[in-house]
Chains A and B, each alone.
Chain A
Amino acid sequence: MSLDTRGERLEGRPGPPRETLGIRASTVTRRRLVGVTLVLAPAIWAFARALGSGTDVVNANGIPVLGRLLAAAGDPAHSVAFLEVVARAAGVTVVYAVLGTAAALVIGALGAVILSDVAWRDEPAPAVRAGRLVLRALLVAARSIHEVIWALLFLSVLGLDPLVAVLAIAVPFGAQTAKVYADILDAAPRQALSAMRARGAHSVPALAYGLLPPTAPLLLSYAFYRFECSLRSAVVLGVVGIGGLGAEIVVSLSSRNWDEVWTLIGAVVLLSAVVDLWSSSVRTDLAVASCSDWSAGSVAATSRTRSVRARWSAGTAVAALVVAWFASGVSWSGLVAPRTRMLTARLIDEMVPPALPSGGWPELGGAVLDTLSMAVLAMVLAVGLSVLLGPAATRVRPVRFLADPPLRWWTPRTAVRPVARVLLLLLRSVPPTVWAAIALLVLFPGILPGAVALGLYTGGILGRLVAEAWENIDLRPRDALRAAGVPAVAASLAAVLPPSSHHLVTYTLYRFEICVRDTAVVGVVGAAGLGSLFAENLDLFRFPVVTTLLLASLAVTVASEVAGRWVRKALTA
């Protein structure tokens, strides 16, 4: 992502980056070879690590149990009493998501103003610059730790309080929002703002008049995207026992009430579908960045369009916030209560100095490698699912000739598309913890169940992202080839495959970074990796080890981000 246009502004003449000028064919081949190796080698290694230990992978005793689970899909629980439980749990999940998103947006907005360059009239003083650097590092740390891990940490200080769920969403998402919002502000045209400042306008009014209006559609669109993510997180957080649909699913799974599991999964899918549809309709209406743009961190798309739907949605969101606030009974006083302060101080005191787990460096190193191989395998599965379902989920766009043939209102693709979309929705709506619990019915604990769970979940997200990106590919080159008499397959291979595979690679690498972070969540429910080690040591109150594991997670997340950037660069050479 190249949002930093400072160089361009200073030079005053945008142009291609120097490194792309006059690049040699041999360099391109070499870089691509390196890129492909960097993708293939980890996949082979991850398979070897997951399967090569010689122990059994499949738990044959679990296959009948899985059969019973699948059979129960035909008869989900539908007693009035249970449906009431489901409705209440859904309410709790939505409330957590709304409050978590709101708090994340507040953190994000404040952080963005501090981090962005445009918000400062002049070059900030050295002390401010140092403070910004510290804040940036804190935000990177905050977003590299998974919501579930945050929830576990907050639990040990606040106990079973709704505030735990709100904070667990707000802290990492707030950090992510601050980064994205700062990028949006810095990428906005700033001539009007500079002119206002040159007329002696005060800082805040200048930002409100000159910067907010052009960036508002993007900021709003991202807020809705964040809400989508928060809802998924609110379900996932159920695993730590703070209520909502996720918690009910965990209860029903562990008591093997499969009919209840299906009803709850149905509720999660329905809720996700409503929020996904709402969020994408607002984005489409604002004609700004698509979901895939946000996921890939691009804020290039801008619009001048005003949207009535967006305005209504923003109004509804504010009303929902007020309702959520009163319905949740969340009280911020818990944060400053003497008991909280005392427990926080004790937690911090117990967390330092960090210590190695009982197995020493080999155990820590093994957990890191397990985490990485789990993420790699998950991505292999996710890419497979995306390649399988993504094209089917993409809208059909017929070839445009000079004389258009009459449009057929029905083709096999028209029927396949909704099925593919529902499948993708199902894959991404069911929390990875639930996928992991199901995988653990038939697979022994280890890398594989975690990878399968994460792969299914990530496949649902990646499939949707690439389908959305593929729908926006410019098809005029293909149409031109078709008009020149090139057969359909050849035209698609020449004009559609290159941009499609580019999107797939880009989003796969971005999702890999997120997937590494997400391994924590399946680890917590019994798969392998750092998450599993974390949950184990937290249960035993080994806080110095918890610190080490947090630092290791941070290092792995940052390293995967850096590696992802390298591979992207190599592949796009």
Chain B
Amino acid sequence: MTSGDPVLRLCGVEQRFGLRTALSGIDLTVHPGERVALLGASGAGKSTLLSVLGGSLPPTGGTVEILGMPLAGLRAAGLRAAQRRIGTVGQRLDLVEQVRVLHNVNVGRLGRWNTARALTALALSRTDPTVEAALEAVGLGWAVHERTERLSGGERQRVAIARLLVQEPDLVLADEPVSSLDPSRAAEVLDLLRTATPDGTLVVSLHQPDLARRHCTRVVGLRGGQVVLDLPVAEVDDRHLADLYTAA
């Protein structure tokens, strides 16, 4: 993959769960540096699309290419290698409550670490500059040895972002990462997500069109599992948004 090649390319992607079709006919290409906001009503298929993009949900139809690698041709090791380069932040933060913040941040590096190093880090509980820098960046420098279960909801969210920062991904996929945050905190988190990759490539599902306008370069609108809107952010107006959130 060269610098100009797309980081994501979807052709005619379809996702069925039994009789229900969650996604159909999705064609989407994302280039390095693009910040794509996925908008749409609940159940429109945003989370499913992000799962497909992250390689954790093989589509039932169509082709997916992640970071220049076709998903269908990847064996388990190849898929893991690709997934190491994708940073994900979900609605659920997927933190391990019972360990210290340090270890939850280190989880971001598990894809790069061999088994011995990972187990040593867990056993020794020693911090290092990378973890400290990531936690400083999210304003949690003080919490490195804190137990995760003692943190507030907002602090946990920032631990999840710090985990993403140490992963140093080439692409960030975020599923409603700011749904439970106040407006100023939400803006702060989206800024941080931009800085997680070298060129700021980001696909984020949002429920706040204003945030999409301020933090993204492109808006992809989903309705009933289909892409019904794909425009640069500057061209998106209220009519588009009203159409998106109106029942099909």
A-B pairs, top 10 by smallest CB distance, nearest first, are A205-B118, A200-B111, A200-B84, A201-B110, A195-B94, A200-B83, A213-B98, A200-B80, A198-B56, A192-B94
Q: Is B80 touching A195 in the complex (CB atoms < 8 A)?
A: no
Q: Is A209 touching B55 in the complex (CB atoms < 8 A)?
A: no
Question: Given A200-B80, A208-B119, A209-B110, does the pair A214, B96 have CB atoms closer than 8 Å?
Answer: yes
- Chain A residues near B80 (CB, 8 Å)? 200-202
- Chain A residues near B82 (CB, 8 Å)? 200
**Interchain CB contact (< 8 A) of B88 among A195, A204, A206, A306:** A195
Mask of A270-297 contacts with B, CB within 8 angstroms, 1/0: 0000000000000000000000000000
Q: Is B149 touching A196 in the complex (CB atoms < 8 A)?
A: no
- Report the nearest B residue to A212, measured CB to CB: B122
- Chain A residues near B108 (CB, 8 Å)? 199
- Chain B residues near A208 (CB, 8 Å)? 118-119, 122
Question: Given A195-B90, A213-B99, does the pair A202, B55 have CB atoms closer than 8 Å?
Answer: no
- Chain B residues near A204 (CB, 8 Å)? 115, 118-119
Asked whether B76 is an interface residue with its Cβ less than 8 Å from the other chain, the reply is yes
Asked whether A304 is an interface residue with its Cβ less than 8 Å from the other chain, the reply is yes
Mind listing 14 A-B residue pairs with CB under 8 Å? Answer: A121-B76, A192-B96, A195-B94, A196-B107, A196-B110, A199-B107, A200-B80, A200-B81, A202-B80, A205-B118, A209-B110, A209-B118, A304-B97, A304-B98
Chain B residues 138-179 with CB under 8 Å of chain A are 147, 149, 167
Smallest beta-carbon distance B73→chain A, Å: 17
- Report the nearest A residue to B173, measured CB to CB: A198
A196→B83 CA distance, assembly (Å): 10
- Chain A residues near B167 (CB, 8 Å)? 199
Smallest beta-carbon distance A192→chain B, Å: 5
Q: Is A199 touching B115 in the complex (CB atoms < 8 A)?
A: no
Asked whether A238 is an interface residue with its Cβ less than 8 Å from the other chain, the reply is no
Asked whether A53 is an interface residue with its Cβ less than 8 Å from the other chain, the reply is no
**Interchain CB contact (< 8 A) of A199 among B88, B97, B122, B149:** B88
Number of A-B contacts (CB under 8 A): 88
Chain A: interface residue total (CB-CB under 8 A): 23
A5→B80 CA distance, assembly (Å): 27
Q: Is A216 touching B98 in the complex (CB atoms < 8 A)?
A: yes
Beyond A192-B96, A201-B111, A210-B107, 12 additional pairs, beta carbon < 8 A: A122-B76, A195-B88, A199-B110, A200-B80, A200-B85, A202-B113, A205-B119, A205-B122, A209-B99, A210-B96, A213-B98, A304-B149
Mask of A95-134 contacts with B, CB within 8 angstroms, 1/0: 0000000000000000000000000011000000000000
- Report the nearest B residue to A210, measured CB to CB: B96
A196→B94 CA distance, assembly (Å): 8
A573→B119 CA distance, assembly (Å): 47
Chain B residues 50-100 with CB under 8 Å of chain A are 54-56, 76, 79-88, 90, 92, 94-99
Q: Is B107 touching A201 in the complex (CB atoms < 8 A)?
A: yes
Which of A's residues lie within 8 Å of B, judged by CB? 121-122, 191-192, 194-196, 198-202, 204-206, 208-210, 213-214, 216, 304, 306
- Report the nearest A residue to B122, measured CB to CB: A208
- Report the nearest B residue to A216, measured CB to CB: B98
Question: Given A195-B88, A200-B80, A306-B147, does the pair A209, B111 have CB atoms closer than 8 Å?
Answer: no
Q: Which of A198, A204, A216 has most B Cβ within 10 Å?
A: A198
Q: Is A209 touching B122 in the complex (CB atoms < 8 A)?
A: yes
How extensive is the interface on chain B, given as a class? 35 or more
Question: Given A196-B107, A208-B118, A304-B98, does the pair A191, B88 have CB atoms closer than 8 Å?
Answer: no
- Chain B residues near A199 (CB, 8 Å)? 83-84, 86-88, 107-108, 110-111, 167
**Interchain CB contact (< 8 A) of A209 among B79, B92, B96, B114:** B96
- Chain B residues near A214 (CB, 8 Å)? 96-98
A200→B88 CA distance, assembly (Å): 11
Q: Is A213 touching B83 in the complex (CB atoms < 8 A)?
A: no
- Report the nearest A residue to B114, measured CB to CB: A202
- Chain A residues near B99 (CB, 8 Å)? 209, 213
- Report the nearest A residue to B115, measured CB to CB: A204
Question: Given A122-B76, A199-B88, does the pair A213, B118 have CB atoms closer than 8 Å?
Answer: no
Asked whether B35 is an interface residue with its Cβ less than 8 Å from the other chain, the reply is no
Q: Is B94 touching A191 in the complex (CB atoms < 8 A)?
A: yes
A471→B99 CA distance, assembly (Å): 32
- Report the nearest A residue to B95, measured CB to CB: A192
A213→B104 CA distance, assembly (Å): 11
A177→B85 CA distance, assembly (Å): 39
A120→B173 CA distance, assembly (Å): 25
- Chain A residues near B118 (CB, 8 Å)? 201-202, 204-205, 208-209
Question: Given A192-B96, A205-B110, does the pair A198, B55 have CB atoms closer than 8 Å?
Answer: yes
Q: Is B96 touching A198 in the complex (CB atoms < 8 A)?
A: no
Asked whether B103 is an interface residue with its Cβ less than 8 Å from the other chain, the reply is yes
- Chain A residues near B122 (CB, 8 Å)? 205, 208-209
A191→B98 CA distance, assembly (Å): 14
A304→B167 CA distance, assembly (Å): 27
**Interchain CB contact (< 8 A) of A206 among B90, B95, B110:** B110
- Chain A residues near B83 (CB, 8 Å)? 198-200
Smallest beta-carbon distance A216→chain B, Å: 7
Q: Is B115 touching A202 in the complex (CB atoms < 8 A)?
A: yes
Smallest beta-carbon distance A201→chain B, Å: 4
Q: Is A191 touching B92 in the complex (CB atoms < 8 A)?
A: yes
Smallest beta-carbon distance A509→chain B, Å: 34
A213→B95 CA distance, assembly (Å): 11
Q: Which of B81, B110, B114 has most A Cβ within 10 Å?
A: B110
Smallest beta-carbon distance A121→chain B, Å: 8
- Chain A residues near B84 (CB, 8 Å)? 199-200
- Chain A residues near B106 (CB, 8 Å)? 209
A208→B85 CA distance, assembly (Å): 21
- Chain A residues near B95 (CB, 8 Å)? 192
- Chain A residues near B76 (CB, 8 Å)? 121-122
Smallest beta-carbon distance A563→chain B, Å: 38
A543→B113 CA distance, assembly (Å): 54
- Report the nearest B residue to A209, measured CB to CB: B107
